Structure formats: structure tokens, C-alpha cells
């Protein structure tokens, strides 16, 4: 079994066991299994902003990011994964840490609607390859229906 398949089996077990409360555990799993993932977190779409959710790593000064701003905002606006091999060469980068050298952001989409994203920073330049992208996009695909159901429940409760 490949490393990616092993991680996906662990992700599936987390999702089944904890449902929508698994996100922090998922961050910890990814950071543990992929040592080049130095900061792992989720942002969620609220109106025209991304709001920081569960994460592991150093605290981020960016708890709210306008959609379209920074690499995180670009991934949502462009509706696609954004891989930045060298954050210092990308004018969209919103500096969080001097140690961050590369970043990958994967939108979480359900039925044509972006719900949020997985954001990962690395202290290693050009840290994210095709395997990282495939893994994170598959995790986003698996999380999308759970997050959509969770959001619907929150909206229904407010009525």
C-alpha cells in the first residue's frame, strides 16, 4: 500500500469516527505523516471572506482573508488548487512566517459551491509535488459532503 493510500485510509477512519469534528485530528494526521507539512489548516467561506478554522502549527495573523486576496483567496476565486513553489516569488503571498517557503491551497467544493479550503505551508522550497496535490484534492473531495451537511444543519438551526 502506498503512503498516500495509507493516509487516505486513516482519513476515512477519522471521518467515520468523528464526523465533522475530525478536522483538527486531520490536520495533526497530515502534519505527522508528511513531515514537510509545517502548517496545516482549514479556512471556511463566510460571505466574501475566508475564516480560519482548525489548524496545527504556529498561530497565523490571517484569521480572515478576503476572497481574491492572497494565495488562499486566489484558490477560492479561481476555484482550483494553487501550488506555490516559492512564496517569496509570488506577489499574492500574505506573509505568515519567515520560515514559510512554499504553499499549497486546495478548495473544498460541493455541488458547485466552494465551502472552504485546505491550506498547507512548508519550510521547504518547492515542497509540494503531484502526490501531495492528489492526496489533498482527494481529502477535499471526501470532506465536501460532510462539511456541506454541517453547514446546512447550522443554517437550519438559525431559522
Q: What is the CATH number of the domain that holds 92?
A: 3.30.450.40
Tell which residue, 18, 141, 148, 155, has the closest CA to residue 81. Answer: 141
Residue 159 has pLDDT above 50, yes or no: no
The grid coordinates of residue 141 equal 473531495
Contact present, 60 and 41 (Cβ < 8 Å): yes
For the chain, how many structural domains are there in total? 1
Residue 153 has pLDDT above 50, yes or no: no
The strand ranges marked E within 10-101 are 39-46, 49-56, 64-66, 82-84
User: What integer pLDDT is reported at residue 17 of this predicted model?
Assistant: 76
Rg (CA), the chain: 15
User: What integer pLDDT is reported at residue 80 of this predicted model?
Assistant: 97
Per DSSP, the residues of 68-92 read: TSHHHHHHHHHTS-EEES-GGG-TT
How many Å apart are CA 105 and CA 74, to the nearest integer? Answer: 9
The grid coordinates of residue 43 equal 479556512
Question: 24 lies in which domain range?
Answer: 3-158
pLDDT tens profile 97-106: 889 999 999 9
The model's pTM is 0.89
Amino acid at each position: 500500500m502506498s503512503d498516500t493510500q495509507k493516509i487516505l485510509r486513516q482519513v476515512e477512519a477519522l471521518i467515520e469516527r468523528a464526523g465533522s469534528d475530525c478536522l483538527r485530528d486531520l490536520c495533526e494526521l497530515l502534519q505527522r505523516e508528511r513531515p514537510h507539512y509545517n502548517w496545516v489548516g482549514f479556512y471556511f467561506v463566510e460571505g466574501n471572506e475566508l475564516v480560519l478554522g482548525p489548524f496545527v502549527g504556529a498561530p497565523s495573523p490571517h484569521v480572515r482573508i478576503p476572497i481574491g486576496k492572497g494565495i488562499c483567496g486566489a484558490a477560492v476565486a479561481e476555484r482550483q488548487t494553487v501550488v506555490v513553489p516559492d512564496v517569496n516569488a509570488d506577489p499574492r503571498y500574505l506573509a505568515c512566517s519567515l520560515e514559510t517557503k512554499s504553499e499549497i491551497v486546495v478548495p473544498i467544493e460541493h455541488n458547485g459551491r466552494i465551502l472552504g479550503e485546505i491550506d498547507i505551508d512548508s519550510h521547504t522550497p518547492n515542497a509540494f509535488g503531484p502526490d501531495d496535490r492528489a492526496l489533498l484534492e482527494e481529502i477535499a473531495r471526501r470532506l465536501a459532503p460532510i462539511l456541506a451537511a454541517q453547514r446546512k444543519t447550522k443554517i437550519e438551526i438559525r431559522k
